[in-house]
Amino acid sequence: MRLVALAALLALLSACTDSDTARRALVGAGYTDVHIDGYSFYGCGDNDDYSTAFTARGPTGVLVSGAVCSSFLTKAATIRLN
């Protein structure tokens, strides 16, 4: 029973990421070596539908991590760094 509940939770959380939008936002802002890490638990606000964690090289070449926050219809992507 616990395994079923854990599997359902993981499936639900994976639906709360938007890797395509996150990658487009990061590359468009000058980030390179982008690696999408899945769901970010604390990276975004209550009004965001998607919270996608990432690590990448920033425009200055420094390795950074954070989250790309976006919504289903109402907002473009926002990059938040840790």
For each successive 10 residues of the chain (82 residues), what is the average pLDDT? Answer: 61 69 96 94 87 96 96 84 93
| Predicted pLDDT of residue 41 | 86
Phi-psi region of 13 (alpha: psi -120 to 50; beta: other; left: phi over 0): alpha
Total domains in the fold of the chain: 1
Contact assessment for residue 67 and residue 43, using Cβ atoms and an 8 Å cutoff: yes
| Predicted pLDDT of residue 11 | 47
Q: What is the rounded CA–CA span in Å between residue 35 and residue 26?
A: 10
Helix/strand/coil for 79: strand
Please give the residue range of the domain that contains residue 25.
2-81
